[in-house]
Amino acid sequence: LAVLLDVALHRLGVHGYTSIPVLLGFGCKVPGMLATRILETEREKIIATALILMIAPCMPQTAMIISLVGPYGTKYLFLIFFILFFVAIITGFILNKILKGETPELFVEIPPYRLPYIPALIKKLRMRLRVFLVEAVPLIIAGVFIISILDILSITNFVTNILGKPVLWLLGLPEETASVMILGFLRKDVSIALLSPFHLNIKQLIIASVFMVLYLPCGATFFTLLKELGIKNTLKVIFMMLSVGVFVGIVLNLIL
């Protein structure tokens, strides 16, 4: 897979091995981010992070989007996923142009094709599961704890009133959904599901779905970003995602 996609991914500033973290990100962004360790340079990791976080929602988010938008027709679902894919590719092109550095070449020996050896698969699965439990689960628990403290101290309400409502006005979404957007930092799938009581029309559902995928990573992914990229690069990624999410949301509000 890395060899097949190497030429296409080189145009985005990364080599073929980036396909592995991106594919893992379709299920959950946390293991996708952990898998960026196979990339050699900081530049590649930043571009790969943008692709992982923007190219598609995680599996729980996907299920919630399908449940909300599906009744209006599959064409709207395809539209949402096409928009996300298009935005991720364009972002990759832009990052490739503005980030200094070169994309390393991919040198890999392709082994002969064989049927999977079940004991080896089980051993690798146990190893990957152990790594996830040891490294990712503590980050998830820490994220939930910190966000809960912020909510108890009413800091999330303050952010909602100061920043959330003006942004939602630009996106054409009801002010009442501001609290749901803030909750998305903790659990994106739950926050998307909580849009249901607001009885949004299909235009608002499309904008909300795209925006909530793009605007911020969930808490667990955020703390994984801190560990893998450091504070400086994590803040850059957060600013980029928020800017892209707001820009795309405003454009969709104008053209849909």
Full DSSP string of 13-51: T--GGGHHHHHHHHH-HHHHHHGGGGS-SHHHHHHHHHH
pLDDT digits (tens, 9 = 90+) for 140-196: 677 667 767 776 777 766 766 666 667 778 888 887 777 777 777 777 767 787 788
Return the amino acid letter for 46.
I
- Contacts of 165-168 spanning 24+ positions with Cβ under 8 A: 167/246
pTM: 0.81
Q: How far is 43 from 97, CA to CA, in rounded Å?
A: 11
Task: Classify 211 as helix, strand or coil.
Answer: helix
Q: Comparing 131 with 11, which gets the higher pLDDT?
A: 11
Stretch 79-107: mean pLDDT: 86
Phi, psi of 39 (to 5 degrees): -85, 150
Q: How far is 232 from 203, CA to CA, in rounded Å?
A: 36
> For residues 52 and 33, is the Cβ–Cβ distance under 8 A?
yes
Using CA atoms, how far residue 26 sits from 51, 59, 61, 228, in Å, is 11, 6, 10, 19
CA angle, 98 then 103 then 109, to 5°: 160
pLDDT digits (tens, 9 = 90+) for 113-153: 778 788 888 888 888 788 777 766 676 677 667 767 776 77
Q: Could you give the dihedral angle defined by the CA atoms of residues 151, 145, 32 and 195, in that order, rounded to the nearest 10 degrees?
A: -30
Q: What does the pLDDT read at residue 64?
A: 85
Q: What does the pLDDT read at residue 171?
A: 86
The CA-to-CA distance between both ends of the chain, in Å, stands at 36
pLDDT digits (tens, 9 = 90+) for 56-92: 888 888 888 898 898 998 999 999 999 999 999 999 9
Q: How far is 246 from 241, CA to CA, in rounded Å?
A: 9
> For residues 50 and 95, is the Cβ–Cβ distance under 8 A?
yes
CA angle, 182 then 187 then 193, to 5°: 85
Q: How far is 92 from 103, CA to CA, in rounded Å?
A: 13
